[in-house]
């Protein structure tokens, strides 16, 4: 369900304690655990229970939190639970979400408390979005389901990011640009204004996209050029 957020998370909008778990026990999972701690420091009330992952970690705890089991175990848990899917790959994140079918699970957007999201910006977020520290969103922006904005990304006016888009640190999207479902922008990649990128296309680190890109390809360089179709 689309949400128009005026601030990140306000403490009085949450119950006294809201349990939440992470899917993904890798590096991004530890970063999202830190994001949740930062939200709590700013007044939120998440109770982070631990990590689920189909690949058990080498140790029974990750970043001081327990490994709780597989995605199947998460689907079987008997009480309502908020979930953040901390998987960096667009395709892998979509595959995980497709398997999370329990009606007891919810997927709140998590936005770093220092990221400005006020009513006058008219930024619409859907479920499962993760927005890390240092991101700048201007105005009239739409993010689909389970969009990931890693550290220091920027989104210009009227930009649209469809479901499962992933922006790695310091990626930049210009005004009026449109990223279709599952687009992945590598670190420091830039998409200039009004450019459209087709679904499931990957843009390499540091690339600058100045023309439309079709679906299902990989593009690198300055300016970005297709090097291969999606395998």
Q: Does a structural domain hold residue 3?
A: no
Which of 110, 136, 171 finishes a domain?
110
**pLDDT, tens digit, for every residue of 105-145?**
999 999 999 999 999 999 999 999 999 999 999 999 999 99
Buried b (16+ CB within 10 A) or exposed e, 170-207: bbbbbbbbbbbbbbbbbebbbbbeebbbbbbbbbbebb
- Note the pLDDT of residue 129: 98
Query: Where does the pLDDT of residue 229 fall: very low under 50, low under 70, confident under 90, or very high at 90 and above?
Result: low
- Asked if pLDDT for residue 2 goes beyond 90, the answer is no
Query: Where does the pLDDT of residue 16 fall: very low under 50, low under 70, confident under 90, or very high at 90 and above?
Result: confident
Mean pLDDT of 12-22: 77
> How many angstroms separate the CA atoms of 91 and 166, rounded?
10
Q: Does a structural domain hold residue 184?
A: yes
| Residue 224 buriedness (CB in 10 A; 0-12 / 13-18 / 19+) | buried
**pLDDT, tens digit, for every residue of 84-95?**
999 999 999 999
What total number of domains does the chain contain?
A: 2
Domain coverage including residue 143: 119-226
Q: Does a structural domain hold residue 196?
A: yes
122: enclosing H helix or E strand: none
Nearest to 84 by CA among 163, 146, 5, 155: 146
């Amino acid at each position: 369900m689309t949400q128009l957020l005026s601030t990140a998370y306000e403490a009085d909008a949450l119950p006294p304690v809201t349990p939440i778990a992470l899917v993904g026990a890798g590096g991004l999972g530890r970063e999202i655990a830190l994001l949740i701690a930062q939200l709590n420091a700013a007044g939120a009330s998440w109770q982070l229970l631990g990590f689920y992952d189909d690949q058990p970690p080498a140790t029974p705890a990750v970043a001081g939190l327990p490994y709780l089991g597989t995605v199947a175990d998460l689907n079987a848990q008997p009480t309502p639970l908020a979930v953040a899917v901390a998987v960096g790959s667009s395709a892998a994140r979509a595959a995980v979400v497709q398997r999370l079918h329990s009606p007891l699970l919810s997927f709140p957007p998590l936005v770093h408390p220092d990221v400005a999201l006020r009513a006058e910006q008219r930024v619409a977020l859907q479920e499962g979005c993760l927005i890390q520290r240092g991101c700048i969103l201007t105005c009239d922006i739409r993010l689909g389901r389970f969009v990931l904005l890693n550290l220091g990304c920027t989104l210009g006016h009227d930009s649209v990011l469809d479901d499962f888009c992933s922006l790695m640190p310091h990626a930049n999207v210009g005004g009026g640009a449109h990223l279709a479902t599952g687009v992945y922008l590598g670190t420091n990649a830039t998409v200039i204004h009004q450019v459209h990128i087709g679904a499931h296309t990957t843009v390499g680190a540091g690339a600058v996209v100045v023309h439309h890109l079709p679906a299902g390809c990989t593009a690198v360089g300055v300016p970005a050029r297709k090097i291969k179709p999606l395998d």
